[in-house]
Amino acid sequence: MTLVQMQSRPASADPAHTPVAEVMDAAGPQVCDDMSVEVALSVMAAARTGRLVVCDLDGRCTGLVTHAELTALRDSSSYTDRVRLRDILGDHQSFTSPVTTMAEAEHAMRICRLGALPVVDEQDSALGVLALSC
């Protein structure tokens, strides 16, 4: 058994001013933007996740896709097996910095109606994902 030391947060600490880096989830699976929708759905199933961080050939984060979006697309009449993730990113090309405050990130996510937002460094490499809980 490993002992974990917990630190209590000062009563004066304001969660709204907490940097995103302190509360983000791990980035999880990262896939290339030339991946097909079917393969992306298979990766999600294997990883038991509902979202994938999408990167270009240089490893820069280009967006995020969800299982619900990919399933809806696959089930639509306009779907073909030639559709690649880069073709469907659309509004999901939003990112945040690890030093952005939670208040700023939550505000932006609500305005853009995003349930999750990739957190990237100065080179646009994915560090994690910030997801709204409600």
Q: What tens digit of pLDDT does each residue of 88-128 get? A: 886 556 888 999 999 999 988 888 888 888 999 999 999 99
Q: Looking at the domain assignment, is residue 30 inside a domain?
A: yes
| Number of domains, the chain | 1
Q: Looking at the domain assignment, is residue 29 inside a domain?
A: yes
pLDDT of residue 3: 39
Could you give the CA distance from residue 14 to residue 41 in angstroms, rounded to a whole number? 39
Is the per-residue pLDDT at 15 higher than 50? yes
Per the structure, the complete domain to which residue 39 belongs is given by 16-131
Q: What tens digit of pLDDT does each residue of 51-65 get? A: 999 999 999 999 999
- Contact criterion met (CB below 8 Å) for 69 and 113: no
Sheet holding 116-120, edge to edge: 25-26, 126-131, 116-120
Q: What is the bridge-based pairing of β-strands 126-131 and 25-26?
A: antiparallel
pLDDT of residue 123: 92
64 strand-pairing partners:
53
Could you give the CA distance from residue 72 to residue 132 in angstroms, rounded to a whole number? 21
**CATH number of 44's domain:** 3.10.580.10
Q: Looking at the domain assignment, is residue 3 inside a domain?
A: no
pLDDT tier for residue 134 given thresholds of 50, 70 and 90 = low
Q: Looking at the domain assignment, is residue 50 inside a domain?
A: yes
pLDDT of residue 76: 93
Q: Looking at the domain assignment, is residue 76 inside a domain?
A: yes
Mean pLDDT of the chain: 85
